[in-house]
Amino acid sequence: MLWALIGILLGIIFGLISHFTIPVEFIKYTAVVIIGILDSLFGGIKGELTKEEYDPIIFITGLFFNIILALGITLLGEKLGLDLYLAVTVVFIFRIFSNLAISRRALLEILKKRKK
């Protein structure tokens, strides 16, 4: 999990330093990919904090599945003339908030146990 956080931090730093711009046609796709990545990241953090069976292979495959699913639904919506990327965004954001809430509770439990 530490390597994932280091990679994200390096990616953010690289993104801020570089002057790369994303074409307007790809903004929807970029947004759902970023949100899918964040969903997987916070799911991994939740798994690590709650001591669930965290497996890096499950994390990586879930990450790629989220990205492919988000891109597929966004592409389908574009072909049908619907804004399905909004549905993808809502679902991933809901999952992110859910994972954060569970992580917060688990972190508080860990801190309570250390305090005793």
Query: Counting beta carbons within 10 angstroms of the beta carbon of residue 73, is it exposed (0 to 12), middle (13 to 18) or buried (19 or more)?
Result: middle
For the segment 26-61, what is each residue's pLDDT rounded down to a tens digit? 999 999 999 998 898 888 888 888 877 777 888 889
- Residue whose pair of structure tokens reads 């709650």 in the numeric block: 50
Cα–Cα distance list, 95 to 26, 37, 42, 90, 98 (Å): 24, 12, 9, 9, 5
For the segment 94-107, what is each residue's pLDDT rounded down to a tens digit? 999 999 999 999 99
What residues does each domain of the chain span? 25-115
**pTM assigned to the model:** 0.80
pLDDT greater than 80 at residue 116? no
